[in-house]
């Protein structure tokens, strides 16, 4: 089926998220939509899928104009979507998820589960998916959950499939498998829109590339362009894709983690007997696919996890069992992976957020009262130092862009006297400009002699920053390898394979 978008414009109040975007996808073509976070890719696809109504412009399928009042209309017209955040109900089985919304029923409205199972098996056999129709979705690994999303779309005879950032949650190997699936769908005549900001994948699979910036189409690109060409088109200026850093000059061991295990409330061993150490002036990156224990190990370092066993020593002093306050006082700086949830109080001002973890005494508090004069001076100084783009330090943090919010978190943590710096997913959801800034700051901390742990699921980030890389898989460290380890080796390690030569 041929899909045409003509002059789609979508406004949210004063913000124009999509500005007269036109796009054509031929039958059996993989069309990549490339753009930064916030460029308007997802908005455009939500318009196509009937979740939003466009203010201007039209959608044509095989030349016929369509009007979608909701996703139901879009699906009936043959559009399927594989959402970035899976639209699956975790407590339902695969078959129930696939049938939801177009259930076949027997007498008195009883669900025909047998028919749904057969449908899942049929599609799953056609593409070699190996999905059990009776498995509960929450028990499946993310890669398989994504296949369930694909089956769900195909079970409604989708002729146009939209993949919204599909590789964000996958290991490199799973990504390769997904790319193979996309090729296979293409061969079967399905038109595919592939939304991504990862240049490598675009070059691997796309037939055509449309680049979007700030809600506008800025041009088509040849899929064979170099990374640098695609990136500069995407960002609008030439960008440094690599971080400038000198080789590390590691000093003494600062943080020693020995045989640490973390249990979740149900008794699952989410971190299993993990040991590593970090030296002064080096960056240890913890790589791995989301949900393999990285969150829990960083929370254990900070004292946020209740069931931790083993040994955590910072400069010879044990951190295990200490309340968070004492851990912070011991000089641990922490950038949490979800800045809006754990890093900031959105309704507080920038200045207030900058002193969130320093409310226990001077210079911010004297005799139980806030020293507002000092706080403002401090905040102004940090605003300049960290280039926080805002009208005033009295603005609410919730109003800032993701990049500026992250700068507030960094400013707060790095302005203390640190003896260990832990940054979890420090650039998630940030634009390329902010990523450069954050990376530079992290490298500066390292060069100032602070031991740094960076947790990241983005292989690019890991490779750019790390002096050494620890790869986690299902709660254990698969291996600790040097920072210049090839990506394919890291990819295999992220899927649980031990490296052949483990470097010390």
Partner 1 sequence: MTAVAATRAPEPALEREAVRSWKVPIALAIFTLVALVLFVALGRDGTSTFRLSTEADAFRLPDLALPTRAGCIVLTVLMAAITAYSVVRSRAARKTPLWLIALFGVLFVVAFLTWASAGAAVPVPGLLVGTLGLSVPLIFGALGGVIGERVGVVNVAIEGQLLAGAFASAVVASVTRQPLIGLIGAMVAGMLVSFVLAAFAIKYLVDQVIVGVVLNVLVTGITSFFFSKVLTPNASVLNSPPKFSRIEIPVLSDIPIIGPALFRQTIIVYVMYVAVALVWFFLFKTRWGLRLRSVGEHPQAADTVGINVARTRFWNVSLAGAIAGFGGAYLTLGAVGSFNKEMTAGAGFIALAAVIFGRWDPLRATLAALLFGFAQNLQNVLSIIGSPVPSEFMLMLPYVVTIVAVAGLVGQSRAPAASGKPYIKS
Residue 94 Cα distances to 114, 116, 129, 135, 160, angstroms: 12, 9, 13, 6, 22
Cα angle value 136/264/499 (rounded, 5°): 80
Is the Cβ of residue 257 or residue 270 nearer to partner 1 in the bound state? 270
The CA distance from 326 to 261, in Å, is 21
Nearer to partner 1, 72 or 398 (CB): 72
Q: Which residues lie near partner 1 (CB under 8 A)?
A: 49, 51, 70-73, 75, 81, 83, 86-92, 96, 99-103, 105, 108-111, 126-130, 141, 152, 177, 180-181, 183-184, 187-188, 261, 263, 265-270, 272, 307, 474-475
Residue 41 CB, shortest distance to partner 1, in Å, is 16
DSSP-derived secondary structure letter, 150: H
Q: Report whether 259 contacts 310 (CB < 8 A).
A: yes
Whether a cis peptide bond, with omega within 30° of 0, leads into 196 is no
Q: From edge to edge, which strands make up the β-sheet containing 30-34? A: 79-82, 160-164, 191-196, 30-34, 208-213, 216-221
Q: Which is nearer to partner 1, 27 or 449 (CB)?
A: 27
Closest CA to 332 of 357, 307, 296: 357
State the nearest-atom distance from the C-beta of 143 to partner 1, in Å: 9
Neighbours of 495 (CB within 10 A): 16
Q: Which residues pair with 476 in a beta bridge?
A: 473
Least Å from the CB of residue 313 to partner 1: 23
Q: Shortest approach of partner 1 to residue 341 CB, angstroms?
A: 16
Q: What is the CA angle 86-87-91, rounded to 5? A: 95
Query: Least distance (Å) from partner 1 to the CB of residue 252?
Result: 34
- Beta strand 253-263 pairing with 307-314: antiparallel
The distance of closest approach from Cβ of residue 100 to partner 1 in the complex, given in angstroms and rounded to an integer, is: 5
Q: Which is nearer to partner 1, 53 or 359 (CB)?
A: 53
Rounded CA-CA distance 200/24 in Å is: 22
Q: Kindly report whether the peptide bond that precedes residue 397 is cis, defined as omega within 30 degrees of 0.
A: no
- Closest CB to partner 1 among 194 and 421? 194
Of 64 and 107, CB closest to partner 1: 107
Q: How far is the CB of 340 from partner 1 (least distance, A)?
A: 15
Task: Report in angstroms how near the CB of residue 117 gets to partner 1 at its nearest.
Answer: 14
Beta bridge partners of 481: 469
Please tell me what DSSP assigns to residue 429: T
Q: Which is nearer to partner 1, 116 or 199 (CB)?
A: 116
Nearer to partner 1, 270 or 463 (CB): 270
């Amino acid at each position: 089926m041929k899909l045409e978008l003509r002059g789609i414009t979508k406004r949210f109040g004063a913000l124009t998220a999509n500005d007269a975007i036109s796009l054509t996808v031929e039958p059996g073509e993989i069309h990549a939509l490339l753009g930064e976070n916030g460029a308007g890719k997802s908005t455009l696809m939500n318009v196509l899928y009937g979740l939003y109504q466009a203010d201007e412009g039209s959608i044509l399928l095989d030349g016929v104009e369509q009007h979608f009042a909701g996703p139901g209309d879009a699906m009936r017209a043959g559009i399927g979507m594989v959402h970035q955040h899976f639209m699956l109900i975790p407590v339902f089985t695969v078959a129930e998820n696939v049938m939801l919304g177009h259930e076949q029923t027997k007498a008195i409205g009883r669900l025909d589960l047998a028919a749904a199972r057969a449908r899942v098996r049929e599609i799953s056999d056609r593409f070699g998916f190996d999905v059990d129709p009776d498995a509960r979705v929450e028990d499946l690994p993310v890669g398989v959950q994504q296949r369930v999303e694909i089956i769900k779309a195909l079970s409604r005879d989708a002729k146009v499939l939209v993949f919204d950032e599909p590789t964000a949650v996958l290991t490199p190997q799973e990504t390769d498998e997904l790319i193979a699936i996309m090729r296979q769908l293409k061969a079967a005549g399905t038109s595919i829109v592939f939304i991504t900001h990862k240049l490598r994948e675009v070059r691997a699979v796309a037939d055509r590339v449309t680049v979007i910036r700030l809600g506008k189409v800025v041009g088509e690109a040849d899929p064979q362009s170099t990374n640098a060409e695609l990136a500069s088109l995407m960002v609008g200026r030439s960008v440094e894709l690599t971080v400038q850093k000198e080789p590390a000059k590691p000093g003494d061991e600062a943080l020693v983690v020995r045989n640490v295990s973390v249990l979740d409330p149900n008794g699952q061993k989410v971190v299993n007997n993990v040991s590593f150490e970090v030296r002064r002036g080096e960056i240890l990156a913890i790589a791995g696919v989301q949900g393999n224990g990285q969150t829990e190990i960083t929370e254990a370092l900070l004292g946020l996890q209740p069931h931790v066993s083993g040994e955590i020593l910072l400069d010879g002093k044990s951190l295990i069992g200490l309340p968070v306050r004492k851990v912070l006082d011991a000089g641990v700086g922490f950038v949490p992976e979800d800045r809006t949830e754990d890093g900031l109080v959105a309704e507080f001002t920038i200045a207030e957020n900058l002193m969130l973890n320093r409310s226990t005494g001077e210079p911010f508090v004297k005799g139980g009262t806030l020293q507002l004069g000092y706080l403002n001076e401090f905040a102004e100084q940090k605003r300049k130092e960290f280039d926080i783009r805002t009208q005033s330090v009295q603005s609410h943090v919730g109003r800032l862009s993701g990049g500026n919010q992250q700068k507030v978190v960094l400013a707060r943590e790095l302005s203390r006297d640190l003896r260990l710096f832990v940054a979890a997913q420090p650039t998630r959801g940030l634009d390329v400009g902010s990523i450069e800034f954050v990376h530079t700051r992290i490298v500066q901390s390292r060069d100032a002699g602070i031991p740094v742990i960076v947790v990241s699921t983005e292989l690019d980030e890991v490779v750019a920053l790390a002096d050494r890389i620890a790869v986690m898989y299902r709660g254990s460290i698969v291996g600790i390898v040097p920072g210049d380890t090839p990506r394919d080796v890291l990819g295999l390690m992220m899927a649980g394979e031990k490296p052949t030569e483990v470097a010390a």
